[in-house]
Amino acid sequence: MHYDLIIRGGICVFPWGEAKADLGVKDGRIASLAVTAQDDAAEEIDATGLHVLPGLIDAHVHLRDPGNAAIESIATGTRAAALGGVTMVFDMPNTSPSITSAATIADKRLTVAENALIDMGLYVGATRANTPELAALEQEEGVCAIKVFAGSSTGDLMIEDDEGIEAVLRSGHRRVAFHSEDEYRLQARKPLFETGMPHVNHMIWRDEECAFLGTRRITALARKTGRPVHILHTSTAEELDWLAAHRSHVSVEVLVNHLTQVGPDCYETLGAYAVMNPPIRDQRHYDACWAALRDGRVDVVSSDHAPHPREAKEKPWPQCPAGLTGVQTIVPVMLDHVNAGRLSLTRLVDLMAAGPARIYGLQTKGRMAVGFDADFTLVDMKAQREIRNDWIASPVGWTPFDGKHVTGWPVGTIVRGHIVMRDDEITSTPIGRLARFAP
């Protein structure tokens, strides 16, 4: 048998467990899990000593395109993702202009075709004006979900009231993703804080009740309308305990930062480079996120990659924008957690491949099986590296994990059989495209 690509000798993480296998790829799809010694291919990879994972997905990024390419773009953001072992990203709609119409989706579709190194999905932003069209917009090619900012947004990308949220949930049928902080509580507490206060006040202002109240309200509306929802960047013990009783309607994302960094220490060491929404919280919430991940309450782990230039981040709090880079570092950081015994490699694959595919309705991604897209993340679980700012491909050139030593490193990124990254080098032209989602 002749293949386009053969990956030999790796330890593969299948849905049914880990096993050494030789994989054959033809026409961008997995054609065999049992290639023989007599079979050949146009290209072969010796994966001896490596783990071969189904292509890992970062389901929550802000590539700022359209916007300012000096901060981030689809070209630079997907390059960062590929260097970090990520084979697909889902991009948020709060760009300039926002992605809220068929026309803006079409424009972005062209940008993806011309610039993306890896595959993508697109969120469409919900507004009061486009709510009647959301049922049609969620069916546009490449759209992974509708995104609702119920708190912490600007312009018309804000629907904070129950009536507006309910109207969104009654327009269409696919799962809706939410930033669920409660805007009313945020604004009521804002006068308590002044410019120049220490950065730790970020987690005090945007406190547990701010997140929990937003999540309770959205959960109630999901149950009322029967519409499935996805709570992005869930960050509190209260939310995670609450959502365990509402799994019929609500799925859960947790960010790598909430599994890795702890307040107030992170604010003392990083300052504005620890400021994100929802905030990094204290040890109690860190422990709760890990407990929920271990017992299955968490469906997806993402980065919420949201770059800002240094000059903006270094303004006094709260003028400094919230948001951290993360798409390039999420895989090394999570592999380090695997090596530390906090989760298994199989569970990581569930959270960053099978989980996003299940929640968002990806048709041919998220698992290694014959007929699925030939997306693979090759990792060296024994490699010891230091994450450094000078490795970061995003134009802003910084990471909150600068100086962090990790064990486990991505050494190959393969998208539909195309080797996009190998041993820290980009080896492909832009071959990314928009994925297909269940209607």
Looking at the annotation, which residues are catalytic?
Answer: 304
Beta bridge partners of 28: none
260 touches 333 (CB < 8 A): yes
Structure tokens at 180: 């669920």
Query: Parallel, antiparallel, or unpaired for β 405-415 and 376-386?
Result: antiparallel
Please state, in angstroms and rounded to a whole number, the distance separating the CA atoms of residues 278 and 213.
13
Using alpha carbons, list the distances in angstroms from residue 136 to 140, 173, 233, 439: 7, 10, 26, 11
Q: How far apart are the first and last CA of the chain?
A: 35
424 touches 414 (CB < 8 A): no
Cα-atom radius of gyration of the chain, to the nearest Å? Answer: 21
Structure tokens at 296: 């299955």
- What is the 3-state secondary structure of 291-345? HHHHCCCCCEEECCECCCCHHHHCCCCCCCCCCECCCCCHHHHHHHHHHCCCCCH
243 touches 251 (CB < 8 A): no
